[in-house]
Amino acid sequence: MLGPSFHPRAFEGTAMLRAFTDHPDSVGETYLEHMDSAWGFAATLFVAALCCFLHGVFPFAFQKSGSRRIVTLHERMVAHRHRHAAPTGFVGWAEGI
């Protein structure tokens, strides 16, 4: 039989859980919502990078495709974000990685 220390709620206050939830909480998202958003940004950046690469090879193609995607991401991430109060804890401990 597992003791109370193995109950999932026992980990709620731990630093490990906070490392996964502090930042998503600070932008008003759950962990899974934040992962979905981050992966959406990654996919868009990948397409933008591909457009820029192809534009370098074929200057007549994709003349504004990459920059248009970057502007759209900026609008989503910076201009229209809904930030909440900054939480304490692990936020910023791995900032910039």
Structure tokens at 15: 């630093």
What 3 state SS string does the chain have? CCCHHHCHHHHCCCHHHHHHHHHHHHCCCCHHHHHHHHHHHHHHHHHHHHHHHHHHHCCCCCCCHHHHHHHHHHHHHHHCCCCCCCCCCCCCCCCCC
**Which residue ranges in the chain fall short of pLDDT 70?**
1-13, 80-97
Q: Return the pLDDT at 77.
A: 83
Output the pLDDT for position 97: 47
Count of other CB atoms within 10 angstroms of residue 62:
19
What mean pLDDT value characterizes the chain? 79
The model's pTM: 0.63
